[in-house]
C-alpha cells in the first residue's frame, strides 16, 4: 500500500522554508509528499475560533487528504502541528500517523497551561501587522531563529516573503493561535504520534510537547538539546532522519 505525507507549515512560513528536509526525507523513503500552507487559506479574518466547531484549516487539510489514496501521515510544524492535531481528532479515519514538530495543544498561557505565551503578545502582533508589519515580523523571526542569530539578508528575505501573504490571513492565523485550545481533543487521537521539539524553543516551550507526550494515547518524544523553534533550518539532517524513520515504521 502506498504511503503519503502531507506537511502543514507554520504561521508566516511559506512552503519553501521546509525544502531543506523534504528532499532528504524523499531520499530515505518511498513516500509522496505534498505541502499545505495555512497562510494561503482565506478565513475572512475570523476574530474568534469557536471551540464547538472545526476550523477552516482542519477542513482544508481534510480536503487535501481526501484526494490521496493509501496511508497518510500528517507532519505539522508549529501552528501546522495544531492544525494536524485538530484534524486528526475531528476526522479520525483519514490519518494513520502524526509528526508534530515544535507544536502545542494550546499556544496561549492559562492558569492550567502555564507554558503558553501571553495572549497580550499575540494581540500585540495582530496590531503590529497593521501599523508596523516589517518590524513585527522581524521580531518574530528573530525569536523563531533563537538560539541562532539570523544574518541581516536572511532576516530581510523572511520578512519580505511574509509581506506577500494577505494580511487578513496572517491575522486569522494569529486569532487561531490566540483562541484554539485542543487539549479536550487529545484523547480522540488514537494513532501513532512522533513529537519532535527543540529544548531552546522560544516560540513554543518544550514543556508543551512534554504535556502532549503525557496525554496522547500512543506517542514518542524526541528532543534536540541545542535547538530552538526553527528545526528545518537548525537541524535539517537529524529532522529528516527522524521523520523518515517514523514513516518507515508506519509503512
Domain boundaries, the chain: 3-250
pLDDT band at 48 (very low <50, low <70, confident <90, very high): very low
Specify the pTM. Answer: 0.95
CATH class of 3-250: alpha beta
Percent of the chain with pLDDT over 90: 84
pLDDT band at 45 (very low <50, low <70, confident <90, very high): low
Buried b (16+ CB within 10 A) or exposed e, 211-223: bbeeebeebebbe
* Average pLDDT estimate for 15-35: 89
Q: 42: exposed, middle or buried (C-beta count within 10 Å: 0-12, 13-18, 19+)? A: exposed
pLDDT band at 47 (very low <50, low <70, confident <90, very high): very low
Please give the Cα distance from 251 to 235 (Å, whole number): 24
Please give the Cα distance from 74 to 141 (Å, whole number): 25
- Helix (H/G/I), strand (E/B), else coil: 198: strand
Amino acid at each position: 500500500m502506498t504511503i503519503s505525507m502531507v506537511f502543514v507549515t507554520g504561521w508566516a512560513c511559506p512552503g519553501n522554508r521546509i525544502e531543506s528536509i523534504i528532499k532528504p526525507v524523499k531520499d530515505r523513503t518511498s513516500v509522496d509528499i505534498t505541502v499545505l500552507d495555512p497562510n494561503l487559506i482565506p478565513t475572512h479574518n475570523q476574530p474568534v475560533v469557536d471551540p464547538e466547531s472545526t476550523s477552516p484549516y482542519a477542513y482544508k487539510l481534510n480536503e487535501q487528504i481526501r484526494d490521496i489514496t493509501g496511508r497518510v501521515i500528517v507532519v505539522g510544524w508549529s501552528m501546522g502541528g495544531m492544525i494536524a492535531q485538530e484534524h486528526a481528532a475531528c476526522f479520525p479515519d483519514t490519518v494513520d500517523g502524526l509528526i508534530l514538530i515544535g507544536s502545542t495543544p494550546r499556544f496561549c498561557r492559562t492558569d492550567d497551561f502555564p507554558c503558553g505565551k501571553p495572549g497580550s503578545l499575540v494581540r500585540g502582533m495582530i496590531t503590529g501587522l497593521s501599523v508596523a508589519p516589517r518590524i513585527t515580523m522581524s521580531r518574530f523571526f528573530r525569536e523563531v531563529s533563537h538560539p541562532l542569530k539570523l544574518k541581516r539578508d536572511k532576516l530581510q528575505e523572511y520578512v519580505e516573503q511574509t509581506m506577500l501573504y494577505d494580511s487578513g490571513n496572517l491575522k486569522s492565523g494569529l486569532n487561531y493561535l490566540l483562541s484554539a485550545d485542543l487539549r479536550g481533543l487529545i484523547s480522540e487521537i488514537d494513532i501513532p504520534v512522533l513529537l519532535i521539539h527543540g529544548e531552546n524553543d522560544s516560540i513554543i516551550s518544550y514543556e508543551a510537547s512534554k504535556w502532549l507526550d503525557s496525554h496522547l494515547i500512543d506517542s514518542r518524544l524526541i528532543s534536540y538539546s541545542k535547538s530552538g523553534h526553527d528545526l528545518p533550518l537548525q537541524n535539517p539532517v537529524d529532522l529528516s532522519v527522524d521523520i523518515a524513520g517514523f514513516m518507515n515504521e508506519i509503512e
